[in-house]
Amino acid sequence: MALIDVQNLKKSFGPLEVLKDISFQVNKNDVIAVIGPSGSGKSTMLRSLVNLETIDGGTVKIDGEYLIEQGKYPSTQQIKTITGKMGMVFQHFNLFPHLSVRDNLEVAPKMLKTEAPKAIRARANDLLQKVGLADKADAYPANLSGGQKQRVAIARALMLNPQILLFDEPTSALDPELTGEVLKVMKDLAEEHMTMIVVTHEMGFAKEVANKVMFMADGEVVEAGEPKTFFENPQHPRTQDFLRKNL
């Protein structure tokens, strides 16, 4: 059974059809790189999976449960339960500026009382260690580099033990010399078999880390496939054109 099953997802902003008819599946342990020109609907697609956008039609099943069934949503509690299976990392980090790094990690689990405070503290320490920021627990976001902020955001997304991580252009706001440290953390997660959807312009990551590449243009999935075939032998003229300009 697919961990994420999206069928015929549709979304408009007023007259603008942003997602025309999107269908795809994500299996456990997949790392899916989503690429495509700006404005093609990549962020809207990702945001709709965690209920940050309300969609107009289609079906989304997460781990066998309906987040959206033919355009209809379940109860608020059910939506929370389902979206709680996913963590999201944004282009602009979205850290709480008034909270220390440690508190950024601990605030949601403490509020949700998922574990005892001691266990939450231990988990935060472990995750900061994992992203190489054990020494920054008491720092505030303003005093971190972009790469450090994004690594904190990844650690924070992992605090609630998600089954799936969604990344929306996690390195696009970073100076080029800082992208590597973030991509490294993401690559480590992939090697630990974290299921991930990564919207990215990093073609190297798509080629080397993803097991599937999905190309979106104008609110549609134009082409998808295993990276080697996708990059070496793209079928659709729009994919060929995009790769010519972006490789």
Residue number, 39 or 117, with CB nearest to Mg ion: 39
Residues in a beta bridge with 196? 31, 165
Is residue 171 near Mg ion by the rule CB under 5 A? no
Is residue 43 near ligand ADP by the rule CB under 6 A? yes
Q: What is the nearest approach in angstroms of ligand ADP to the Cβ of residue 200?
A: 11
Strands 195-199 and 31-35, sheet pairing:
parallel
Q: How many residues does the chain have?
A: 247
Residue 61 CB contacts under 8 Å (≥ 6 apart), including other chains: 2, 4, 5, 6, 67
Is residue 170 near ligand ADP by the rule CB under 6 A? no
Using the rule CB under 6 A, which residue among 1, 15, 38, 118 binds ligand ADP?
Answer: 38
Using the rule CB under 6 A, which residue among 3, 6, 32, 44 binds ligand ADP?
Answer: 44
Strands 4-13 and 16-26, sheet pairing:
antiparallel
Applying CB under 6 A, which part among 35-43, 116-124, 132-140, 202-210 lies near ligand ADP? Answer: 35-43
Q: What distance in Å separates the CA atoms of residue 242 and residue 247, rounded to the nearest whole number?
A: 8
Q: 103-112 long-range CB contacts below 8 Å, 24 or more apart? A: 104/141, 104/152, 104/156, 105/152, 105/155, 105/156, 105/159, 106/159, 108/156, 108/159, 108/160, 109/159, 109/160, 112/160
Binding residues with ligand ADP: total (CB under 6 A): 11
Using the rule CB under 5 A, which residue among 3, 4, 19, 43 binds Mg ion?
Answer: 43
Is residue 40 near ligand ADP by the rule CB under 6 A? yes
Applying CB under 6 A, which part among 33-41, 64-72, 137-145, 230-238 lies near ligand ADP? Answer: 33-41
Binding residues with Mg ion: total (CB under 5 A): 1
Q: What distance in Å separates the CA atoms of residue 19 and residue 84, rounded to the nearest whole number?
A: 24
Applying CB under 5 A, which part among 35-43, 54-62, 107-115, 177-185 lies near Mg ion? Answer: 35-43
Q: CB count, 10 Å around CB of 142?
A: 9
Is residue 15 near ligand ADP by the rule CB under 6 A? no
Residues that bind ligand ADP (CB under 6 A): 13, 16, 18, 36, 38-44
